[in-house]
Amino acid sequence: MHEVGNENSNPYRNMVMDAMRMSKGNVRECPIVEEEPNADAARFFDLLRDSNEPLWDGYTNHNKLSAVAQVFTIKSDHGLSEAGYEKIIEWTRSILPEGNRLKENFYAVKSMMKPLGLGY
């Protein structure tokens, strides 16, 4: 597993950067502006935040994005229906600590993953 806060070893942060066609150099060169980001930039920053936010406070093995990506991959690899996926998420959320950040349903996961170009 990777450390959630370490940008260099976070493959999910790197996945976001690749999907949005951003290199580390591009990000460092971005000027700081005081205006609201456009829709694409907002999605990019949301995904970056999700790639650095732990699944629950104090937990460092997975972040919001890594957990969703891995469950999404299981669904795809094993041909699970949306109903099957929903049951797995429902059960998983029931055993995770209160206040966990795992997306609550398939629709929320699809919305989160869409900017990365990952269909279902």
What is the C-alpha separation between 85 and 105, in angstroms, rounded?
Answer: 8
The mean predicted confidence, pLDDT, of the chain is 80
pLDDT at 81: 94
- 29-80 pLDDT, tens digit per residue, is 455 556 777 887 788 888 889 989 999 999 999 999 999 889 888 998 999 9
Q: Are 62 and 21 in contact (CB under 8 A)?
A: no
Q: How many CB atoms lie within 10 A of CB 83?
A: 8
Q: Which residues of 5-43 are buried (b: 16+ CB within 10 A; e: fewer)?
A: eeeeebebbebbbebbeeeeeeeeeeeeeeeeeeeeeeb
Tell which residue, 49, 44, 39, has the closest CA to residue 101.
Answer: 49
